[in-house]
Chain A
Amino acid sequence: MRITPSILARQAVAHINQNADAINESLERLGTGRRIRRASDDPTGTVLALRLQSDIALTDGDRRRVEQALPYLQAMDAALNQAIAILQRARELVLQASNDSLTTDQRKAIAEEMTTLRDEFLQVANTRVGDRYLFSGTAILTKPFVANLAGDVVYQGDGNQMKVTLSNDEQVPITLAGNAVFQSGEDVFAVLKDAINAMKAGDGETLRANLLPRLDASIQQILNTAASLGAQANRSERTVDTLLLQKQSFQLALSPVLDADVAEEVATYQLRQTTLQATLFAASRILPLSLVDFMA
């Protein structure tokens, strides 16, 4: 083949460009720290990266929300345990009061303590975290239990539960429907009211035969709720750990897709630089060669 200077020049320019382009790419990757600078660098990797980035964001959001839910679960747990303690004290008082040999003054004193316990119980049932009542279902800003003039406690909330939804549709309840806890099966407030009335009336028989079993049933009812709530709290605490692990594994998967391998880039950069230098050297030696220089 006839080789003309323009063929040599074209060849030299093409190779210089190729190497300069590769160096430019390496530099850009090193500068941005990213393997994928534009979607077309790696179409499949881009789709994967978008998926993983969104997964990481969702996992982060879920973890934040479960962490926000945990105080509610803990507060509900504490409130229910306090309610059980109050009812257990009430049971002792009912037992004491059912003794027929008590004096009227003694009964009155017991009835007074019982009244205090009922008020305490009402307070516990109206526990709030921040602005939210824990036992009014989804009517979180409404005080759930209010005593009317007749001394009956009326439920103001609704029968639903406020729930935190995670991205995998798992739901963590952060309130309870108070009527289901305190007024289904046994109406605990009615039990307490009846007990006070029976104490005042000195009706030991009713206290023994009627109120004691009802009080036991009330305690059992709240214990059941507390147990399932405790299980939920444990589960949610584990969920936080799981979500943290998940995020880490997503990040581990994302890194090789999106992040530049610095060591590899530096090696490529150096290799290409050497090649470019060689090309430039060859071009500078060969291109100026001409017969013209040797003609007298």
Chain B
Amino acid sequence: MKNKQISVFIENKEGKLKNAIEALSKENINIRALSIADTAKFGILRLIVSDNKKAKEVLEENNFIVKESEVIIVEVPDEPNGLNTILTYLDDEDINLEYLYAFVSSKSDEAIVVMRLENIEEGIKVLKSKNANILTEEDIKNI
């Protein structure tokens, strides 16, 4: 039920983000989803990719600092209040959300949301009990 996300430290300097993306593309690694959090001085690039192990290797070879962390990826009805419903489930149970980002898939009508929770186990339990559609690693490969 958990998915792996890769985060990369990106210095706020010309060409740095491109270097990271280019390293991945050279190895034919597909980026499923990404988000960038940034300050004036640096950014954190977060990625869901087709091959975590390889992506990590490639980026480290290129001297990037890479960290793997666990996220949950949920399908959300692509309609008003869709995301709010999911967030309400978590909020009701006092589960803290660190951050989220969303993307859409060409193979489904739903929006897909990547969530990093303070307590991932609890989060999964709650979402499951509400019958939310949590995607497995296998599902992500097929998006």
Partners in one complex: no
Interface positions of A (Cβ within 8 A of B) = none
**Interface set of B (CB-CB < 8 Å, partner A):** none
